[in-house]
Amino acid sequence: MAPSAGLARRAFAAEAKIGALVIGLVAVSMLLQLRIDQERGARVLPMFVHHNPGGAEAELIKHQNFSLYLPKAQALRYASLGHRNIVADMVWLKAAHYASKQFAGGGRLDWLSKMYNVTVDLDPNWENAYWMGAMILASVARKPKDAELLLVKGMSRIPHSYKLPYEAGVTLLFQRGKEKDAAKYFRRAALHPECPRIVLDIIPRLLSEGGSLEAAIMAAESRLNSMPRNSVQYKATARDLMEFRSRLLVKRWQEIVEAFRRQVGRSPAALAEVRSPLPRKDSYGRDLLYDPASAKVDSEGLRLVRLNEQIAVMNAALGDVKHRLGRKPNGPREFLDEIRKIYKPRAHTDERGNEQLERVMGRWPFRFPAHPFGDHGERFRYSREKAEFLLRPDRRLGALYPEELR
Amino acid sequence: MAEEETTPESTGPAGPAKPIRTRGLSMVYRTDILKRKRKALDGLDLEIEPGEIFGYLGANGAGKTTTLKLLVGLLRPTAGEAWILGRSTGEVASRRPVGFLPENPFFYEYLSAREAVDFYASLSGMGRADRARRTAEVLELVGLGGAEEGRIGSFSKGMRQRLGLAQALVHEPQVLILDEPMSGLDPIGRRDVREIILAQRDLGRTVFFSSHILADVEAICDRVGILAQGRLAETGPLENILTREITSIDVAVEGASVEAVPEDLAADTTMRVIETENGFEITVADYETAYRVMDAAEAAGAKLRALTPRGESLEQYFMRTQAGGRAGEGAAGAAEPGAPPEGGSPG
Amino acid sequence: MTNAWIIARNTFREAVRDRVLYAILVFAVVAIGGSKAIGWVMVGEDIKVMTDIGFASVAFFSVLIAIFVGTGLVHREIDKKTLYTVLARPVHRWEFLVGKYAGLMLTVLVNMAIMSVLFLVYLRIMGLVTVAGTDNVAPPVLTYMNLQALVLTAAELAVVTAIAVFFSSASTPILSAILTTIAYAAGHTSDWIMIMVEMLRPAPGAELTFWQWLGQWILTAVYYLVPNLEIYNIRNLAVHSELVSVQPLAFWHFTDTCATAICWVLVAMLLSVLVFGRREL
């Protein structure tokens, strides 16, 4: 029997009405969504509007190479299902952990920059992430270029900040020859109504000193105030401060030696011959060194710092070789061959390290260049068990720094 | 199976609307997406008279619960139509005068009995004052007077059944549609329910209920409808259905011995003969045979003590008619409380 | 219409007496209270972290409630046949659904309110504790942005709850929980779809191929058919409300967003009525 017309027809009419309403509402929500997307500044229907992420942001995006262990910021952004800030906090924590672990082991912090970039991509309004991140990149990881890029990113997203341009200026001063750019950022920071007086006071002094050691010392001292005492960044900055002071001391002594030469007509035979109120030990408590033949002044502490840096660079390169070979290299010669194959200068590795590696790797047998203050170059050895290059124990960092800075 | 003539369809305007009327009501279930269909109800024509108690019987899977669900709007028929007091069941308003009790009812576990009945009463449109009064009354009526504040989650099956009856009665409905109202109750409970149903009829209301418990049906129903495989096999007053088939006659004779029985009958081993103290009893198939026996007994000087025609009991009727269609289905009319529920809705 | 309200009240009453609700609330309280511990690890950023965790907890646990309680809703009624006694009365099926939704929404909102109050109070106390003894001022907690963020979170919950009711009126609790979770995830990832549409653009100077055009149209359709739940998420912004460049939403932006939520709720409810109306019980 055919279905009763009345019941079925009535039911169908009701359903049709509901269906029409649904379609209408979906259309309305489409229109609303269009408006909302514009208000959010998100990309709108590409057919109607063409959006090109060009300019500075594209530059920044190009510079971000992501490692295997950290997913792209985009993927994390969507995987967090809206809770982006929490994920940003977690990445920040991971970065802090990584920084302190690597620092204690004397390693290079290659992934730190990526971690900070992911953090700020997930939470773009987190001013302190840019600020502290850049500070740590510059002082702990020795990557001022990465620090600057991070700060530039931050300044484009948080235009009303004074901290970020100030920090950018200070960071640029760590790189030689960038005084003009530093001045540009300092001006920007000074324009901000909330910039504190202390900062305003330091800026002109920093600018006037330019890329000098005095400026670097002032910047490092002012930075120390904003860091918690036992943190990694504090230790790194304090170590830098010791180095700068020593270098300044060496520089002053060099000037005195020059003055002596001009006055007396010859180089002094030893530093003891020169009279000066300047201290005769560097900030590490070690002696100053003087080579009468070249009339050059140096410091034992600085020399040890350089040695350790070179060893760190070589150990990092050793890591790359181990990864490539799948095992430890049999000896220094194999190491050298592999290094030549893989080690191309990379955009964001430590520039100073690159230079040192180039210098060392060119010569066999491995030896640091003979320093003018002794009769043989400093030796180091390759420990096959540990698969590491090692200095003599009394030459290592642990012997150099006081307890609280290790 | 004998096809009973259905009640003639009223084509013209009838008198006062019948409490329940169906015409060609059919239901085909889509058991799954692959469109395998199951025909649960096929062309049901039914008319219930005002003020009567109608018992709706059938084996498991015959379509009883489906019918009840269709009457109450839980299902939409695939063909045919039904009316409650003149209003099509497609309209929500048709449910206003209806009190429904589903099979094995469950309620909101975290409510108290009183809260639940109050909730249902308010859904039926009762005002606050009425509700309070009626809730107390009806809970008392079904025997839950002391358990008003008890959490339903802690109720036994019998208490839930009573609660179900309470919510069906609270709004004083004209038509009661009950699915297995006696299930889950002990004999005392069943008696209480029977009395409640009878009381409803005294108030002029109509009761339409389905049941497995034939003893109860026999006790209170005015009319009975028997459903088999989706079709209405029989309908009418119980006496009409049953007495039509007289299966046997018991003849009790006093003062004669069994030898008085005519020989051809005695030789018939299907005849049941019992020797009593001073006579015998014999069960015969029809009146003719009964008269022969009586004549023989009188001739032997005995007296007729009793002549009892035995109609088919509902159970026997049931077994006979149901067994033909559903071999091996088991005792369709097994009079146990809590018989497994009929497979009304597919999984 | 009053029938819907009666059912809503009853649903609320029933949900409130369900223990699952309290379990989730306890977890939320623990998360919010424990945020200080995590904040302690983050040098100097403890207030930010606590605010982050607080907002995220309020949103996350409220969504959990919506999904866990909501998806069992209709199916449990059918399964346990509590539905029959309700629908055998002069109650429309749509009244039943609307009532269920309203009751569920009420439950979710009440819980959200409790968690929000706890969160804001805790934040204020911690802020005061941090600045005690210094010259700094504790950051204000009842800011316009925070309130906007909470209101929009409630709007997001309204949409998710409606979706939960829709799925639960069509299928089993487990399946509808899974589908609602998928819808929630899709709602938060839907911005990505527009980025993929961007990526399908031809190289500069090249022609738009048929497949690119088709892909763009399909993806755009999907974008507009899936409710974008990110638009209600200004929590990540509200954390940084002290920045000048971070401002509360403009009036029209805010109202548009709320209107969108209402639209989606209506769509989900209408579809539920459609599906549920056809359903054999």
Distance between alpha carbon A145 and the CA centroid of its chain, in Å?
7
pLDDT of B121 strictly over 80:
yes
Predicted pLDDT at B238: 73
Q: Which residues of B are less than 8 Å from A1 in CB distance?
A: 24, 26, 43, 79-80
| Per-residue pLDDT tens digits for A201-224 | 666 666 666 556 777 777 778 777
Q: Which residue of C has its CA nearest to B165?
A: C85
Interface check A381 vs C, CB under 8 A:
no
Q: Which residues of A are less than 8 Å from C263 in CB distance?
A: 25-26, 28-29, 32
Predicted pLDDT at B346: 41
Q: Which residue of C has its CA nearest to A80?
A: C188
| Per-residue pLDDT tens digits for A119-170 | 888 888 899 999 989 988 887 787 888 888 888 888 887 877 888 888 888 7
Binary contact (B123, C86; C-beta < 8 A): yes
- Which candidate from B73, B124, B125 shows the least CB-CB separation from C87? B73
Closest CA to B314 of B208, B192, B191, B221: B221
Label residue B270 by pLDDT band (50, 70, 90): low
Spatial contact of A72 and C19, defined as CB atoms under 8 Å apart: no
Predicted pLDDT at C258: 95
Predicted pLDDT at A50: 30
pLDDT of B331 strictly over 50:
no
| Per-residue pLDDT tens digits for B238-250 | 777 665 566 777 8
Average pLDDT over residues B141-146: 87
Q: Which residue of C has its CA nearest to A94?
A: C42
Hey, which residues does B178 pair with through a beta bridge?
A: B101, B209
Nearby residues of A74 by Cβ (< 8 Å), 6 or more positions away = A121, C192, C195
Q: Which B-chain residues 306-335 have CB contacts (< 8 A) with chain C? A: none
Angle between helices C251-278 and A5-40 (to 10 degrees): 160
User: What number of C-beta contacts closer than 8 Å exist between A and C?
Assistant: 137
The one-letter code for the residue type at C154 is: A
d(CA B338, CA B347): 20
Mean pLDDT taken over chain B: 79
* Residue at token pair 């399946």: C175
Complex-level ipTM? 0.87
Predicted pLDDT at C112: 92
Predicted pLDDT at B96: 92
Binary contact (C244, A160; C-beta < 8 A): yes
Predicted pLDDT at C160: 95
Predicted pLDDT at A211: 56
d(CA A31, CA A90): 37
Q: Which residue of A has its CA nearest to B78?
A: A3
Residue ranges in chain C whose pLDDT is less than 70:
1, 43, 80
Query: What single string gives the DSSP state of each residue in A112-172?
Result: HHHHHHHHHHHSTT-HHHHHHHHHHHHHTS--HHHHHHHHHHHHHH-TT-SHHHHHHHHHH
Residue ranges in chain A whose pLDDT is less than 70:
1-7, 41-73, 105-108, 174-178, 197-212, 313, 332-333, 336, 339-380
Q: Which residues of C are less than 8 Å from B95 in CB distance?
A: 88-91
Q: Which of C43, C223, C257 to mutate to test the interface with A (most CBs of A within 10 A)?
A: C43
* Residue at token pair 């379509």: B63
Q: Which of B33, B35, B74 to mutate to test the interface with C (most CBs of C within 10 A)?
A: B74
Predicted pLDDT at A206: 65
Nearby residues of B200 by Cβ (< 8 Å), 6 or more positions away = B169, B176, B207
SS3 B199: helix
Q: Which residue of B has its CA nearest to C76?
A: B108
Label residue B275 by pLDDT band (50, 70, 90): confident
Binary contact (A86, C194; C-beta < 8 A): no
Interface check C76 vs B, CB under 8 A:
no
CA distance B80 to chain A (A): 5
Label residue B169 by pLDDT band (50, 70, 90): very high
Closest CA to C234 of A85, A91, A116: A85
Distance between alpha carbon A83 and the CA centroid of its chain, in Å?
27
Average pLDDT over residues B10-29: 74
Predicted pLDDT at B244: 57
Nearby residues of A79 by Cβ (< 8 Å), 6 or more positions away = A71, A87
CA distance A18 to chain C (A): 6
Binary contact (A10, B26; C-beta < 8 A): no
Predicted pLDDT at A71: 54
Interface check C37 vs B, CB under 8 A:
no
Retrieve residue C30's tokens. Answer: 């623990």
Angle between helices C93-131 and C144-170 (to 10 degrees): 150
Any chains having at least 3 CB pairs less than 8 A from chain C are: A, B
Closest CA to A137 of A123, A124, A152, A147: A147
SS3 B296: helix
Q: Which residue of B has its CA nearest to A3?
A: B79
Kind and range of the H or E run holding B235 = strand B231-237
Binary contact (B78, A3; C-beta < 8 A): yes
| pTM to 2 decimal places | 0.73
